[in-house]
């Protein structure tokens, strides 16, 4: 019998999805679920962060709490939902100080308020150091953006810039923390307003957040939509710190901008006939490529065209 690590996260989730079958509404497979209620749909997701994997050197407990909320709110943003409420589950080591626990909750609460939501409850118990945040939101009549409706010929775009969380991480590892902003790593900003505007525009055919990096995100849209992608390295908007890290270490732009992840921009595709609707809704974005009728994401760089590798996660 194979183990979890042999299957990998994606492998086991595939098996779980087969076992569960498909519920009404939108079940597993997107950034959030859409759950039908008699009074309307609720958009819902849950995500966890751990001391082991999500607590880089220099992070505060307040940053950790902010991040716990931000990663779930980002999964609502990717659907175009407006955040309404959060539930916070804490599994924390018995020797953790009282003040540190309040600081985790303060960070979560600040992030919730920033996104227009409140924390409505949660759960608290001893554990190894993990915080799980359930986020609930509403589409307010907009159509949710899925991963599965990209069409060949659509344009591919991203919000914001890429690689700045990775740059912050490598700045700390290499003693360059005074030269690079650590904010994108320590307190990521989910693209809530952008997601709402994008879903409101009616132009977007698919969307996903970049938590696991651009390569994984592109691969997820390709597989859910049965399409391919041509993405152009020279079009990618480099985040703050990316150039400083490439000139001071041997870490590549590709590693930071395509594979590292830990950033919360939105990758999306749109119908090129409807581009003006995005401008009318004040969505700011950078075009990075186009959707093809192949079945994998390709990266184009210096006249070379190669399939994007799997990400790290
Ligand atoms: N134990 C589980 N039971 C049911 N569905 C699950 C389970 N684990 C994951 N899923 C579903 O599988 C999908 C996971 O996809 P993926 O990891 O690409 O998305 P994500 O939640 O946006 O990732 P991230 O954790 O990076 O935010 C989601 O739709 C999620 O709801
Ligand atoms: C100490 C430390 N801090 C941060 C990172 C980076 N990191 C961890 S998980 C992840 C992707 C999102 O995960 P998830 O699967 O939870 O969505 C990233 C970018 C690291 N490797 N080590
Ligand atoms: Mg996601």
Q: What is the mean pLDDT of residues 154-168?
A: 98
Whole-angstrom Cα distance, residue 52 to residue 29? 26
Locate the ligand 2 atom nearest the alpha carbon of residue 9 and give its number: 15
209 annotated ligand-binding residue: yes
Q: Which CA distances in Å does 92 have to 51, 62, 95, 102, 127?
A: 9, 14, 8, 12, 5
All residues at 6 or more sequence positions from 276 whose CB lies less than 8 Å from its CB, including other chains = none
> Is any atom of ligand 2 closer than 6 Å to the C-beta of 75?
no
Q: From the alpha carbon of 260, which atom of ligand 2 is closest?
A: 19
Span from the CA of 29 to the centroid of ligand 1 (angstroms): 7
Strands 297-301 and 228-232, by their bridges, are parallel
pLDDT tens track for 28-82: 999 999 999 999 999 999 999 999 999 999 999 999 999 999 999 999 999 999 9
Backbone φ/ψ region at 254: left (φ over 0), alpha (ψ -120 to 50), beta = alpha
Q: Please report how many Cα atoms fall inside a 13 Å half-sphere around the Cα of residue 54, on the Cβ side.
A: 27
The Å distance, Cα 16 to ligand 1 centre, comes to 10
Distance 95 CA to ligand 3 centre (A): 32
Q: In what order do the strands lie in the sheet with 286-292?
A: 204-209, 266-270, 155-158, 286-292, 228-232, 297-301, 304-307
Binding site membership of 313 for ligand 2 (Cβ less than 6 Å)? yes
**Quick one: which of 57, 129, 132, 121 has its CA closest to 96?**
129
pLDDT for residue 275: 97
Q: Give 86 Cα–ligand 3 centroid separation in angstroms.
A: 16
Q: Compute the chain's Rg from CA coordinates.
A: 19
- Per-residue model confidence (pLDDT) at position 181: 97
Please tell me the predicted confidence (pLDDT) of residue 310: 82
**Residue 311 pLDDT greater than 80, yes or no:** no
Strand order in the sheet with 40-50: 33-37, 40-50, 130-138, 82-92, 118-126
The stretch 4-9 carries a mean pLDDT of: 93
Which ligand 1 atom lies nearest to the CA of residue 10? 17
Best of 4, 17, 28 for a ligand 1 pocket test (most atoms within 8 Å of beta carbon): 28
Give the dihedral of Cα atoms 14, 20, 23, 28; nearest 10 deg: -30
Looking at ligand 2, which atom is closest to the CA of residue 56? 1
| Separation of alpha carbons 202 and 259, rounded Å | 30
Task: Note residues around ion ligand 3 (Cβ under 5 angstroms).
Answer: 31, 75, 209, 211
| DSSP per-residue letters across 86-130 | EEEEEEE-TTS-HHHHHHHHHHHHHHHHHTT-EEEEEEEEE-SSE
Q: Which residue ranges form the domains of the chain, and what is each CATH number? A: 31-138 (3.30.1330.10), 155-307 (3.90.650.10)
Distance 94 CA to ligand 3 centre (A): 31
Distance from residue 297's CA to the centre of ligand 1 (Å):
21
The response to whether residue 41 sits with its C-beta less than 6 Å from ligand 1 reads no
Both tokens of 158, joined, read 């991203």
Contact 282, 197 (CB under 8 A): yes
Pocket test residue of 11, 13, 73, 266 for ligand 1, highest count of atoms within 8 A of CB: 13
Asked if the model's pLDDT at residue 4 lies above 80, the reply is yes
Distance CA 285, CA 283 (A): 6
Place of tokens 């030269």: 179
Whether 132 is in the pocket of ligand 2, judged by its Cβ within 6 Å, is no
pLDDT at 1 over 90: no
CB atoms within 10 A of CB 180: 25
- pLDDT for 312 beyond 80: no
29 — alpha (psi -120 to 50), left (phi > 0) or beta? left
CB of 263 closer than 6 A to ligand 1? no
Q: Beta strands 297-301 and 304-307: pairing type? A: antiparallel
């Amino acid at each position: 019998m194979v183990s979890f690590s042999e299957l990998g996260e994606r492998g086991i989730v595939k098996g779980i999805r087969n076992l569960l079958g498909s519920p009404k509404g939108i079940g597993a497979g997107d950034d959030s679920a859409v759950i039908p209620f008699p009074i309307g749909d609720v958009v819902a997701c849950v995500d966890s962060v751990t001391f082991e994997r999500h607590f880089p050197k220099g992070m505060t407990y307040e940053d950790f709490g902010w991040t716990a909320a931000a990663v779930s709110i980002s999964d609502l943003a990717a659907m175009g939902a407006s955040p309404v409420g959060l539930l916070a589950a804490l599994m924390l080591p018995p020797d953790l100080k009282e003040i540190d626990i309040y600081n985790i909750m303060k960070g979560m609460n600040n992030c919730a308020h920033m996104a227009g939501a409140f924390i409505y409850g949660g759960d608290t118990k001893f554990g190894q150091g993990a915080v799980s945040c359930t986020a609930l939101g509403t589409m307010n009549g907009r159509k949710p953006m899925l991963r599965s409706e990209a069409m060949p010929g659509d344009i591919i775009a991203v919000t914001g810039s890429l690689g700045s969380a990775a740059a912050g991480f490598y700045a700390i590892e290499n003693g360059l923390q005074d030269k690079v902003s650590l904010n994108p790593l320590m307190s990521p900003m989910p693209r809530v307003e952008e997601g709402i505007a994008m879903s409101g525009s009616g132009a977007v055919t698919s969307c996903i957040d970049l938590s696991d990096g651009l390569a994984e995100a592109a691969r997820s849209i390709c597989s859910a939509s049965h399409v391919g992608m041509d993405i152009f390295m020279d079009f990618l908007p480099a985040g703050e710190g990316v150039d400083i890290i490439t000139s001071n270490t041997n870490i590549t732009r590709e590693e930071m901008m395509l594979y590292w992840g830990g950033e919360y921009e939105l990758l999306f595709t749109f119908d090129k006939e409807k581009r003006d609707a995005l401008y009318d809704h004040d969505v700011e974005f950078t075009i990075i490529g186009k959707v093809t009728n192949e079945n994998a994401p390709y990266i184009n760089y210096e006249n070379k065209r190669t399939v994007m590798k799997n990400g790290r996660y």
